[in-house]
Structure 1
Amino acid sequence: MQTYRQTYYWWNYWILGSILILLLIATPLLTIFFKIFEPPGSTWSHLAENLLVGYFSNTLLILLGVACCTFLLGVTCAWILTNYQFPGRRYFEWLLILPLGFPGYIMAYTYVGLLDYAGPIQTFLRNVLGIQVTGSLVDLMNIPGAIFILSITLFPYVFLLTRASFLQQSKTLQEASYLLGKGNFHTFVKVALPMARPAIVGGIALASMEVLNDYGTVKYFGVNTFTTGIFRAWFSMGDASTAIYLAAILMVMVFVILYLESLQRGNRRFTHGNGMSKPLVRLQASTAQKWVFISICSGVFLVSFLVPFFQILYWVYLTYAKVMDWNFLLLVFRSFSLAAGAGVIIAVLSVVLLYSLRLSPFKWLKNITRISILGYAIPGAVIAVGIMVPLLAIDHWIIDSPSFTRTSLVISGTLLALVFAYVVRFMAVGYNPIDSGFQKIGIHVNEASRLLGKGTAKTLWKVDLPLIKTSLVSGILLVFVDVLKELPLTLILRPFNYHTLATKAFDMATNEMIAESANASLIIILTGIVPIIFLNRLIRSKYV
């Protein structure tokens, strides 16, 4: 009987479908892996001699700078909001998450517009105070400017994970520290901070991977990084081999970050080790502390969201009449349809993968399924190169076929290639919520349906899917938001003259139409805020 069950599971069409899905998702990584063993392109030697060191040093400086800034901002705000009671605390808990809805490239040109000669700050200084400033008020078009922009958009990663960790910590640990004569600061440094280290490092790792994925900010600021180098090698130099070499180096940097994040955990335990723990009780802040805490949280919120958001609103007020026409509405419809379609496809593929795991007793299938969520750690430019190379090879094979009469590309440069790339990049975003939904309902309801004589497909349709419909909607929504603001991957793989809201906003901003680009930017920002609010409610319901 056991042999029969294993044979049945092995030939189950769900498992066969899962293996095919995993092979497709692994295509970009396999392409880059095999291509690095081929001889480099003609421009590689020039790039290695003159630009590679700059790419590496600039990327490393931005990574270190963003890591330090997100640590300071995220941990400070998380500790204040978790451990002290003061006016406005409940509002700051979700207000400080809103910068996640602000893509870095939109934040970049918004601040440039704020600080340049025609911006509101310099206009106020000239017209009201009579102060003349030559050039930009603050020069952001450099590495420190890129660190500033990326830090204020990415610090919520550290803030969210660290706050959740602080909320889980037991009051018993802090009371023990106080009984030993230690003050609040010493308790924070010696007790709370080490216990929250996995969450802090995890948040910094997420922010670092977003830095490696960023193209819009560094491109707009004229900073050469590996991502801009991939674009230059592909579009300007026309050298796919050099782009693959740069993509491989960028992949190595991602894996190093993931390895270091795993290494710092090791086999250490970061729990309080006592099931009879006391819940965390917030301290009543003194009058002076209240002003300090409100000032810190308000300052971070103003700089990271409110000021640039109101600047976007002002630009929309000035330009909406000439920008919002039928072409703009078509652009919105096209972007929303593309994002929703990618979300639905990812949800369907995730259900196939996860349902095959429920039917299969093999541990190897569970292990290789993790490949499907690896794409979220890989920068979009790397995935785009890894997809474009095999698709171009397929197109050339089709065109060279004697029975084929067309000379144009068939697959590459189409929406099919773009959606395929979205699936590889954002599979983890839709997969994890659906996986959580399957785990909550357990396997028993599935087994009960099978005992009643229902097949696997009917059990999935009639039993499992209705029970996880909330998780399905959550996964589709999260993918929708991420696809809507994705820039580097879309720029490389989009069809000719095809725009989404993200590419249109970036294209207008780089052509000095910053005010006009605010209309597309506003839709991206408002759409990105929706899942952030749901995320904060989830944290509050779980830990508070």
Structure 2
Amino acid sequence: MTDSALPLADKKRKGLSRKSGATWVARTALVAAAVCALPMVAVAVAALTGGTDTITHLAETVLGRYTMTTLLLVLMVSVGTFAVGVGAAWLVTMTRFPGVRFFEIALVLPLAFPAYVLAYAYTHVLDHPGIVQSVLRDITGWGPRDYWFPEIRSLGGAATMLVLVLYPYVYLLARAAFLQQSATTFLAARALGASAWSAFFRISLPLARPAIAGGVLLAVMETIADFGTVAYFSVQTFATGIYTSWFSLADRAGAAQLALCLLSFALLLAMLERAQRGRALYHDPSRRQQAMEPAHLSKGQSILAMILCGIPVLLGAVLPALILVNMGLGSEQNLLSPRYLGFIQNSLTLASVAALVTVAVAVIIGFYQRLLPGRRANGAAYVARLGYAVPGGVIAVGLMVPFAAFDNALDSFMRSTFDVSTGLLVTGSIWLLVAAYMVRFLAAALGTYEGGQAMVPANMDAAARSLGETPGGTLRRVHLPILAPSLLTALLIVFVDVMKELPATLIMRPFNYDTLAVQAYRLASDERLEGAAVPSLVIVAIGLLPVILICRQVGRGRHR
């Protein structure tokens, strides 16, 4: 029976059901967006109401150093990820040499390694007591002051660690852009006398600029959010300053004001990324879409290409894994002890709950955009995506400040009224930490969900409505079964991101509730690097799950 044949009362009931379903989706999405905006608003309010004495003291002492160090780190990581990511993407996409199919997948593997894990591994090998300098002294007979060796615990060392694990962002996006380019414009440039290098720099690179810029900006956002690497190498950035102000100095106002500075920089980067995508008008004017024919390299060129593609894989994945395994075997850490099983259980619990909550919120916001498109829905999605540009330390401070004030106010009211202390109901709870993870990684889940949702034709929604389905029923019976692969990918990505997240966990975790990342950081801070290798290996092993999925997509992305 069609809608036109239904009695008027049934039509009204169906209309009310659909309206109530849409209202529920809209309200839930807007509440989730408000939660995402809360840390940013709270940081701004706490910073602006913290008085001028703190910010004046910061400006006279550490603010300049934090700013300069952070900017230098961003600059070095930007240049490094651009050079490695774009160069590797061009070689595996536009040339053919022995092992190219292996390298196009292996170049993604460093994405499974947190930068702070690489820092622990390379410090163990390259520091003064490490095997490299020890062998050098044994061979030459030099003393500690008779030679110069690059200092791994430095700004340059931190930048190198970050480049090795973040260049896959640029590589993946650049490779996709190169694969989508038609050969006609490139061949026209060659026909007009341009060399291969000239055609690359003047044609292919500008065409791929939006994708490359997006990848570099993602790497930069991860750089300013990093805490474990810079803290271990004693590099003073805004991320380390926030943690020091919050814990070591117990200066909440100072931490909020430093967080506001970092938040402003992160939001500026997010706006730049959005603006560059809006101005991304490069396109191939040719109507003929001819796949680029890869150039076959000579023997000498092939050897050079294999070396250039092999170095990032070797330094970013293979060598760190071997070092960590060797360190772990020589440590006294027992992965099966009750203490370590507790760390693993805590990590898996947090990551699982956070992944489920984050993906559920992403589904609601994405479905809200599809169900009721408009400024409000687009605004909710935009605010939800901003969390990825906000470092974990900023989100932690932004959530701790208002909820700590709420807990204290409630406790004071209950004491004065009923002579009962409520303590800290929200602050220091697992659920507040899960909320921080949700804010931080909602953009990743939302992007994955929207990518799958774009493959669901709109006429399916119309067909479901004509059959009497409510919005919730359409989502449950039509969208979710089709989007199961995308949802699984989103769950795995958020799960592993939470496993690796350090600053928010350090600041917000409940008392005596440590995770693998916290244990690795604590052991490394005590210079027990061999012990830190054990939890680090577990984090890396779990991180390989989404990377394997990405590698499968990379393998399918070859010319069809």
TM-score with structure 2 length normalisation? 0.92
CA change 1:168–1:220 in 2 (3 A) is same
Q: For residues 457-504 of structure 1, what are the alpha-carbon distances to aligned partners after superposition, in whole Å with 9 as ceiling and x for unaligned?
A: 333222222121111111111100100000011111111222111111
User: For residues 89-488 of structure 1, what are the structure 2 equivalents within 5 Å?
Assistant: 89-125=100-136, 129=139, 131-132=141-142, 134=144, 137-264=149-276, 267-319=279-331, 322-401=334-413, 402-403=417-418, 405-406=420-421, 408-488=423-503
Query: Tell me, which stretches of 5 or more residues in structure 1 are unaligned?
Result: none
Residue 526 of structure 1 corresponds to 541
1:358–1:443 contact (8 Å) kept in structure 2 = no
Q: Which residue identity does 2:291 align to in structure 1?
A: P
The CA deviation at 1:116 is 2.4
The CA deviation at 1:39 is 4.0
Q: Distance in 2 between matches of 1:156 and 1:274?
A: 30
Q: Distance in 2 between matches of 1:378 and 1:437?
A: 25
2:105–2:554 contact (8 Å) kept in structure 1 = no
Q: Distance in 1 between matches of 2:475 and 2:271?
A: 37
Q: Distance in 2 between matches of 1:113 and 1:210?
A: 24
Root-mean-square deviation (Å):
2.3
Where 2:260 maps in the other structure, the secondary structure is: helix
Where 2:290 maps in the other structure, the secondary structure is: coil
Where 1:271 maps in the other structure, the secondary structure is: coil
Instruction: Give the counterpart of 1:83 among 76, 83, 94.
Output: 94
Where 2:283 maps in the other structure, the secondary structure is: coil
CA change 1:237–1:208 in 2 (3 A) is same
Q: Which residue identity does 2:73 align to in structure 1?
A: I
Q: Which residue identity does 2:109 align to in structure 1?
A: L
Q: Distance in 1 between matches of 2:267 and 2:374?
A: 27
The CA deviation at 1:417 is 1.1
Q: Which residue identity does 1:134 align to in structure 2?
A: P
Q: Which residue identity does 2:65 align to in structure 1?
A: G
Residue 6 of structure 2 corresponds to none
Where 1:441 maps in the other structure, the secondary structure is: coil
Residue 23 of structure 1 corresponds to 34
Residue 4 of structure 2 corresponds to none
1:126–1:132 contact (8 Å) kept in structure 2 = yes
Q: Which residue identity does 1:504 align to in structure 2?
A: Q
Q: Distance in 2 between matches of 1:260 and 1:356?
A: 26
- Bigger drift between 53-62 and 347-356 goes to 347-356
Q: Distance in 1 between matches of 2:451 and 2:339?
A: 40
CA change 1:80–1:473 in 2 (3 A) is same
Q: Distance in 2 between matches of 1:313 and 1:265?
A: 42
1:312–1:518 contact (8 Å) kept in structure 2 = yes
Query: Tell me, which stretches of 5 or more residues in structure 2 are unaligned?
Result: 1-10
Q: Distance in 1 between matches of 2:272 and 2:378?
A: 24
Q: Which residue identity does 1:152 align to in structure 2?
A: L
Where 1:427 maps in the other structure, the secondary structure is: helix
Q: For residues 132-175 of structure 1, what are the alpha-carbon distances to aligned partners after superposition, in whole Å with 9 as ceiling and x for unaligned?
A: 46289431122111111111121111111111111111111221
The CA deviation at 1:187 is 1.0
CA change 1:102–1:406 in 2 (3 A) is same
Q: Which residue identity does 2:492 align to in structure 1?
A: L
Q: Distance in 2 between matches of 1:456 and 1:201?
A: 38
CA change 1:308–1:133 in 2 (3 A) is farther
Q: Which residue identity does 1:491 align to in structure 2?
A: L
Q: Which residue identity does 1:353 align to in structure 2?
A: I
CA change 1:363–1:523 in 2 (3 A) is same
Structure 2 residue 59 is the aligned partner of structure 1 residue 67: no
Structure 2 residue 513 is the aligned partner of structure 1 residue 498: yes
Q: Distance in 2 between matches of 1:174 and 1:433?
A: 32
1:55–1:225 contact (8 Å) kept in structure 2 = yes
Q: Distance in 2 between matches of 1:120 and 1:81?
A: 34
Q: Which residue identity does 1:185 align to in structure 2?
A: W
Structure 2 residue 523 is the aligned partner of structure 1 residue 512: no
Matched residues, percent identical? 35
The CA deviation at 1:199 is 1.5
The CA deviation at 1:190 is 0.9
Aligned length, in residue pairs: 542
Q: Which residue identity does 1:214 align to in structure 2?
A: D
- Bigger drift between 427-436 and 215-224 goes to 427-436
CA change 1:240–1:11 in 2 (3 A) is same
User: For residues 24-63 of structure 1, what are the structure 2 equivalents within 5 Å?
Assistant: 24-40=35-51, 42-63=53-74
